[in-house]
Amino acid sequence: MARNTLGDPANVVEVVCDMSQAFLGGVADNLSNAEVTGDGFHIVQTFTKVLDEVRKKSAVRKVTPKPSGGRS
């Protein structure tokens, strides 16, 4: 049987983690006194993905016409 060597989970007051539902659910279920702080890397990553999607949707694409005629 595993022994808890990390101390009392009630003593954990802050957790820095990914903002995925898996992490948030784990913190809520096991560390009831902890406040969650979003991991800066993942916040920037999420923002960048959303911004890229907006850019793709709003981009005006230029169509370059193919040269006509044959070779000289």
Q: What are phi and psi of 36, to 5 degrees?
A: -100, 130
Per-residue 3-state assignment (H helix, E strand, C coil) for 19-70: CCHHHHHHHHHHCCCCEEEECHHHHHHHHHHHHHHHHHHHCCCCCCCCCCCC
Q: Please report the pLDDT score of residue 63 as a whole number.
A: 62
pLDDT at 21: 94
The predicted pLDDT at position 65 comes to: 72
H-helix or E-strand spanning residue 71: none
Residue 71: per-residue pLDDT = 64
**What is the rounded CA–CA span in Å between residue 17 and residue 42?**
9
Q: What is the mean pLDDT of each run of 10 residues along the chain (72 residues)?
A: 71 90 94 93 93 86 69 60
